[in-house]
Amino acid sequence: MAVAQTQTIVPQRDGIQASVVNDLSIQVATVNGSGSQSSNNVLMRSIFQMGIPTSGKNLFPSNIAGLPTWFTIRASKRGYVGCKREVDILIAMNPQTAREDVETLDPGRVVLYEERLKLSGLRDDLIYYPVPFSKLAAEAVRIPRLRKLVANMAYVGSVAEFLGIEMEQVEVAIAKWFKTKQKAIDLNIRIAHMGAQYVRDHLPKRDPYRLERMDKTRGKIIIDGNSACALGAMFGGVTVVTWYPITPASSLGEALTDYLQQYRTDPETGKATFAVVQAEDELAALGMAIGAGWSGARSMTSTSGPGISLMSEFTGLAYFAEIPCVIFDVQRVGPSTGLPTRTAQGDILSLHSLSHGDTAHPVLLPGDMAECFEMSRQAFDLAERLQQPVFVGSDLDLGMNNWMCDPFEYPTEPPDRGKVLTAADLERAGEFARYRDLDGDGIPYRTLPGTEHPLASYFTRGSGHNDSAGYSERPEDYVQLMDRLKRKYDTARELVPQPVIDLRDEAVIGIIAYGSSDSAMEECRDQLLEEYGIEINYLRLRALPLSPALKDFVAVCRRVYVVEQNRDGQMADLIQLELGEAGTKIRKICHYTGLPLDARFVTEQVIAAERPS
């Protein structure tokens, strides 16, 4: 029987031991606001440029400057992009957390640290490399403020030297980061070399970790999910964008604003072919998006959980009045102060039926960067096709972290603007009833304000209307409306992205995951197979409403674990509701620490349930 094989690395005083190549994680612990963003980015890019699959996760506090922050870079020759629980190399720069950071390392790991922190006495089962980073910086730079910023680039040089990261790549990455600022480029390159030189002169290598050139990143890009969503929206032809700042969604609105200004300003007139409004709050943000959607524009807003709560009433109105718009929810942990900068998938139930009364909304769940791009574009098609708000449910892990992926493919299909009648259409038809289901798919036809035709106008209101948009409180009219909206939801079931299913011979256990949780699943399945001999069927959900394919998947499994990042298993609940009796096969695996999901956690949960000792 297979046993859990967690790597144990025994420190050796003088070198020679099995080396660990291209499979490690580096955690950089710094102080928020100390400029470590550039050095961490440079470090990650340097590894990426060596052809080694890389991903980066930023764990940051809800603070502008002063609180601790950690950046974790994973290099994985197998291409795993999820979070790795164990830290192999700690770069300790922050006096506030250094002790605790060291305490939590597994034996045999490396601590590269600012010499002044004097960490080597803490434990004797780690490999310590003290480097006087601040002294090096002081030698290189006179201005104290600058000194603090460049000290960080010194650790890039030092760790590069230890791990075998090519200094040319560090230089390229520095140049890329600082773009046209030649002075900054020169200075940072100099500091990085000083960090490397110090290591060469004073610190013989005593650890097994190495990075070696591969060819697995050629042609790939590194991007964060918020930028990917912003690009998707731009290439989806969005014209009205409204938002209210909130972490972790702000960078979506900001990236989109930048892209639009750059690529959607009419070169002839210098005028904008888009409107971006930073609204006074999320109610107004959605109100504007709805007004624009009603008028026929492709409109969107982006927010996170607290904003979603505020958008509740308007979402219901748009559902009943059947108005298209796209709402991005970059999910984060809970309300108010505390963990707003931590990741979660806790808005699933809210998004599913946001508002009062009977409501149900399509929710797209991108699982990677390509899908952040593609689904963001597609959301506009769906919103206009279905004439209702469509959510894109991303999260902080996807949205704000750096992911490696293939370049996005240019969307070639024409946009689906849905059932909109022009004056000419109305002339031909000779009649128009705004809410009549002519096609049996639950989706009515609409006209846009400004349409020059006597049949065009209608009056838009919430729940109380008949199929000609006349005011009505008649029970039959209401029931008819509700039943049609349900029919429309069933139409949506077929139109939204379908799940990705991977069945394995012999597998009787299934896993269902979605969104950022997918990033841990390949590794988790490999662990279950390689360490425990358990084959796993996998279904990755990509949208609500749930696909009919879900039932068939569960049917071929004995047990199905639904993996998600919230306490109560919100998606598992929806799945169980959907499955009826077969729902008894569903088990919940819930990860709700605020940290990104790691494969080991899921593996352990599955094993605890499947192989109780």
Partner 1 sequence: MALRTRARKKKPKKTNRIGLSRSAYRGHPSTLCSGCGHDAITNQIIRAFYEIGVNPYSVAKMSGIGCSSKTPAYFMNASHGFNSVHGRMPSVATGTMLANRGLVCIGVSGDGDTASIGLGQFCHLLRRNVPMIYVIENNGVYGLTKGQFSATADDGATLKTGVVNELPAMDCCSLAIEMGCSYVARSFAGDPKQLVALLKGALSHSGTAMLDVISPCVTFNNHPGSTKSYSWAKEHEELLHQIDFIPGFEPIAAVDYPEGEAMDVEMYDGSVIRLRKVDMDYDPMNRREAVRMLHSSAAASELLTGLIYVNPVAKSFLDTLNLCDEPLVSLPHEKVKPGPEILEQVMKDLM
* Min separation Cβ 420 and partner 1, Å: 10
Give the nearer residue to partner 1 in terms of CB position, either 6 or 457.
Answer: 457
Task: Indicate which single residue of 292, 512, 536, 541 sits in contact with partner 1 (rule: CB under 8 A).
Answer: 292
Stretch binding partner 1 (CB under 8 A), from 7-15, 145-153, 451-459, 481-489: 451-459
Give the nearer residue to partner 1 in terms of CB position, either 287 or 510.
Answer: 287
Task: Indicate which single residue of 6, 449, 483, 577 sits in contact with partner 1 (rule: CB under 8 A).
Answer: 449
Cα separation, 380 vs 244, whole angstroms:
20
Binding to partner 1, residues 492-551 (CB under 8 A): none
Task: Indicate which single residue of 144, 267, 414, 533 sits in contact with partner 1 (rule: CB under 8 A).
Answer: 414
* Min separation Cβ 240 and partner 1, Å: 5
Which run of H or of E encompasses 520?
none
Give the nearer residue to partner 1 in terms of CB position, either 259 or 607.
Answer: 259
Query: How far apart, in Å, are the Cα atoms of 359 and each of 161, 294, 454, 575?
Result: 58, 19, 33, 17
Tokens coding 589: 């695996």
Query: How far apart, in Å, are the Cα atoms of 380 and each of 238, 267, 295, 407?
Result: 8, 25, 14, 21
Give the nearer residue to partner 1 in terms of CB position, either 100 or 263.
Answer: 263
462: number of Cβ within 10 Å: 13
Stretch binding partner 1 (CB under 8 A), from 108-116, 309-317, 343-351, 516-524: 309-317
Amino acid occupying residue 397:
D
The secondary structure of 202-232 as a DSSP string is H----S-EE----SS-TT-EEEEHHHHHHHH
The yes or no reply on residue 413 touching partner 1 (CB under 8 A) is: no
Binding to partner 1, residues 454-493 (CB under 8 A): 454, 456-462, 471
* φ, ψ of residue 232 in degrees (nearest 5): -60, -40
Radius of gyration of the chain (CA): 27
Query: How far apart, in Å, are the Cα atoms of 427 and each of 118, 445, 467, 477?
Result: 83, 14, 20, 27
The yes or no reply on residue 245 touching partner 1 (CB under 8 A) is: no
Task: Indicate which single residue of 291, 306, 334, 583 sits in contact with partner 1 (rule: CB under 8 A).
Answer: 291
Task: Indicate which single residue of 297, 398, 541, 544 sits in contact with partner 1 (rule: CB under 8 A).
Answer: 297
Give the nearer residue to partner 1 in terms of CB position, either 102 or 370.
Answer: 370
Question: The tokens 């949780």 sit on which residue?
Answer: 517
* Min separation Cβ 265 and partner 1, Å: 8
Binding to partner 1, residues 209-228 (CB under 8 A): 219-223
Q: Where are the alpha helices (DSSP H) in 322-446?
A: 348-353, 369-386, 396-400, 423-429
The yes or no reply on residue 357 touching partner 1 (CB under 8 A) is: no
CA 223 to chain centre: 10
- Report yes or no: 400 and 225 within 8 Å, Cβ to Cβ: yes
Task: Indicate which single residue of 108, 208, 236, 497 sits in contact with partner 1 (rule: CB under 8 A).
Answer: 236
Give the nearer residue to partner 1 in terms of CB position, either 227 or 605.
Answer: 227
- Report yes or no: 432 and 248 within 8 Å, Cβ to Cβ: no
Binding to partner 1, residues 1-60 (CB under 8 A): none
Binding to partner 1, residues 262-281 (CB under 8 A): 263-264, 266, 269-277, 279-281
